[in-house]
Structure 1
Amino acid sequence: MPTAMQIRGLGPITMSVADLAHSEAFATEVMGMRRVRTYQSDDAAPATVHVFAMGEGGPAAELHMRVEPHLPRARQGAGAVHHVAFRIPDADYGAWVDRFDRYRLPSSGPVDRYYFRSLYIREPGGILYEIATDGPGFDADEPKESLGERLALPPFLEPRRAAIERGLKPL
């Protein structure tokens, strides 16, 4: 696909929290983000939104926390986003494992997804965060030139290939 037609990034993550204090402390102290601004949303249900930046910041490196005190704690189910993922360099993975241990926070512990490694942790409002490495990458089992031309599965899902393929809708 020509570069001009490729998705080169996404905008910020927006999540709703009932209690800003605990979610903000998690974002800043545990995740290492910094608060950069606050604004009022202009939608049908206006709310105060607090913006936290990661790394160098910018739209693709921001987390917007929308404060909605009437909301129940986040939970999994129909209509819910399962988790939000944060990308890290491969070399930083061990430091994140150690960080969660140092804070004595319950996490998934190291998870090998074959194409990348992950750690999962819930922030105080119940939202599931994933810390995911860049590598080894989606070209671990097929050439970059043909990525997406067939259904590639990590080895741990191969035994379920037939069932997974039956559940797919043709494009």
Structure 2
Amino acid sequence: MRKLQAQGIHHITLTGADRQTSIDFWEGLLGMPFVFEQPNLDNPDEGHLYFDPGDGRLITVFTNETRKPDPKRTPTDPGCVHHLAINLSRATFSQAVTRLEERGIGHSGVKDRGFMDSIYFKDPMGFLIELACYRFEPPFGCSHADVMIEAHRIRVARGDYNIAEEHLADAIQLLVERRQQTLSRD
């Protein structure tokens, strides 16, 4: 059977509060330029704001001027979206705790995920946001996913519980050796 081959996420749409609260959060805190706005074409009582998360794709937010921020955690039942992870550079990630605290935003502190570091906090509507920073750069011509699949294979073969930096380093070496020739015998 033929697949409907995905080529990346086109956009993600979230339910936000009012227009200004949404702009203040997505652009004001997270630095995502506000690039487009129109009505929600399925609900004339709502606006539809578009933000660029840094890769040219889109995160969109439905707004309603009667909806106010509600910091209660959004549902995490099966079928619900648990959280949204946003990629940060190492330099920006190293400043994230300070910058969140400057704004009085509660957060999880830095969490060690083996192959990346994470910080969690909620948007104005209680939706969990993760700031994520990889602990590695993929070799030239490879993606983060290329490294992750190789690191996973190495981890499983070794019987290790989770991916660690050693698996990443070995995966990167393997990818370079496959891709790049050498005149050396060693």
TM-score range, shorter chain: 0.5 to 0.7
Q: Extract unaligned runs of 5+ from structure 2.
A: 137-143, 165-186
The one-letter code sitting in structure 2 at the alignment partner of 1:42 is L
Q: Which amino acid aligns with 1:27?
A: W
CA distance in 1, matches of 2:90, 2:7: 20
In structure 2, what is the equivalent of residue 17 of structure 1? 16
Offset at residue 105 of structure 1 (A): 1.4
Give the TM-score normalised by the residue count of structure 1.
0.67
Higher relative contact order (CA 8 A, sep 6+): 1
The letter of the residue matching 1:128 is L
SS in 2 for 1:143: helix
Corresponding pairs, count:
147
AA partner of residue 50 (structure 2): V
Structure 1 71/28 Cα, relative in aligned 2: closer, same or farther at 3 Å? Answer: closer
Gaps of 5+ in 1: 157-171
What is the distance in 1 between the residues matched to 2:67 and 2:101? 32
1:23–1:125 Cα contact (<8 Å) kept: no
Partner Cα separation in structure 2 for residue 123 and residue 145 of structure 1: 32
Amino acid at match of 2:19: L
Say yes or no: does 1:95 pair with 2:103. Answer: no
Kept in 2: contact 1:22–1:125 (CA 8 A): no
Q: RMSD in angstroms over aligned alpha carbons?
A: 3.5
| Secondary structure class of the residue paired with 2:135 | strand
Residue 75 of structure 1, CA deviation? 1.5
1:166 corresponding residue in structure 2: none
State whether structure 2 residue 150 is matched by structure 1 residue 143.
yes
Q: Which residue of 2 aligns with 1:154?
A: 162
SS at match of 2:134: strand
